[in-house]
Amino acid sequence: MPARRKTQNANGRPVWADVSLSALAHNLHAIRDFVNPKSENRSTPRKVLCIVKGNGYGHGGPQVAKVLERFGADWFGVTGATEGQQVRKAGVRKPILALTSFWPGEEAQLLANKISPAIIRCEQLVAFDSAASRKKVAKRSAGFHLKIDSGMNRLGIAPTDIECFARQYEKSSRLKLEGVFTHFASSEVFDGPIATQNRRQEESFYKAVERLRALGIDPGVIHLANSAAIASRPETWADMVRPGAILYGYHPSYDPIERRVQAEKELPLRPVMSLRARIINIRNVPAGDGVGYGSKFLPTRASKIAVLAAGYGDGIHRSLGNKGSVLVRGVLAPIVGIVSMDVTMIDVTGVPDVALGDVATIYGTDGEHILPANLVARSIGTVTSDLLCAVSARVPRIYLA
């Protein structure tokens, strides 16, 4: 069982995250094959832009990008210049897109690291082109993608601003439009009043792309699909897809929920990260004696309570207190009391032969057992990415073949 192997951390504190590179490779290949069905016979296969922002959804952005490049990723998505630079420093050569654009002052860093920013306001072209000019970048060679706000009302230029964009682009002689994209607000929703939003966004987006073409501008690579759209809306795949959550092994929540069962069947994924900590103390607590801060857990029977070497400062969500469970020796042990910053208490009364030093899996795989992060997330009303991104810097990531 992998969870019981003697993983040694750099700092010795027994909390770590195993990152399975074979699961990562499996997911990337599964996604690439899924969006390139043989029956379609496309002359140019759809590309995959791997989302590695948010420190690679907590898995270590530069590390996973480097591995994903080897496994055949075409593009990488980061949030901005600094994350992109870290990915470049890891030796990644494939193109990188800064999804949340740039703030004045970041242009030189983008250019120096060959990171293509998303342009989300027309006037950004002026700033980016001036920076490219100062760097003496050759004509039409500083790449960028145009983000269209097709209805999420968050980031991107409005479809009505295409003319303004086109005028400014003509004047921005160093810049090269490499792609046009949009982001869906609710691609996982197939029921209720917002079920039609995706279609409306697609229509609005393609109208903007057609307008660009009519103005004589080649839009380059067209991309729209995030995880839910990749798994369940083939009409959105276009030239490239942008998987985040599914790359790391988790389908998002769907409405209705049955959609997830279908998605899991059609696109089977493997969880990449397993967050683990060892038991560093075990004590017998009499019935009625409070456990942890505020005595928020009062056992109703004499109980065996174990202490894990991980708390919310490591990424165990505080709202799992008195709610979640962890896997110990293949048995689900309830989290009891309030999760502290550095430790978490679990009730191991029902775990046969439990011993000091045993490894608990907070989520992920433990041999043949699995405690999926998406179920843990749902139990506390959040999303998987929130849990994964919460794994803090002090938790060493251990990359397993």
Ligand X SMILES: Cc1ncc(COP(=O)(O)O)c(C=O)c1O
Binding site for ligand X (CB under 6 A): 51, 99, 183, 226-227, 242-245, 252, 385
Distance (Å, rounded) from C-alpha 398 to C-alpha 394?
Answer: 12
CB of 147 to ligand X, least distance (A): 8
CB of 95 to ligand X, least distance (A): 15
250 is catalytic: no
Distance (Å, rounded) from C-alpha 27 to C-alpha 284?
Answer: 43
What letters, b where the CB count within 10 A reaches 16 and e where it falls short, cover 199-235? Answer: eebbebbbebbebbeeeebebbbbbbbbbbbbbbbee
CB of 258 to ligand X, least distance (A): 19
Residue with tokens 């490239």: 240
CB of 327 to ligand X, least distance (A): 25
176 is catalytic: no
DSSP 8-state secondary structure symbol assigned to residue 200: H
Distance (Å, rounded) from C-alpha 316 to C-alpha 314?
Answer: 6
**CB of 17 or CB of 51, closer to ligand X:** 51
CB of 80 to ligand X, least distance (A): 12
Distance (Å, rounded) from C-alpha 246 to C-alpha 373?
Answer: 12
How many alpha carbons fall within 13 Å on the CB side of residue 398? Answer: 19
**CB of 226 or CB of 232, closer to ligand X:** 226
Distance (Å, rounded) from C-alpha 240 to C-alpha 220?
Answer: 11
Strands (E), 125-174: 142-147
CB of 124 to ligand X, least distance (A): 16
Out of 47, 53, 147, 176, the active site residue is 53
97: β partners: 77, 116
**CB of 133 or CB of 382, closer to ligand X:** 382
Label residue 336 exposed, middle or buried (CB < 10 Å: 0-12, 13-18, 19+): buried
**CB of 51 or CB of 67, closer to ligand X:** 51
Distance (Å, rounded) from C-alpha 73 to C-alpha 63?
Answer: 13
Out of 139, 171, 293, 296, the active site residue is 293
Q: Is residue 18 left, alpha or beta, with left meaning phi > 0 and alpha meaning psi from -120 to 50?
A: beta
Q: Which residue is nearest to ligand X (CB)?
A: 244
CB of 223 to ligand X, least distance (A): 8
Q: Which residues contact 400 (CB under 8 A, 6 or more apart)?
A: 2, 18, 19, 20, 21, 22
Q: Which residues contact 384 (CB under 8 A, 6 or more apart)?
A: 245, 248, 250, 252, 373, 374, 377
**CB of 176 or CB of 242, closer to ligand X:** 242
- Catalytic residue positions, numbered: 53, 293
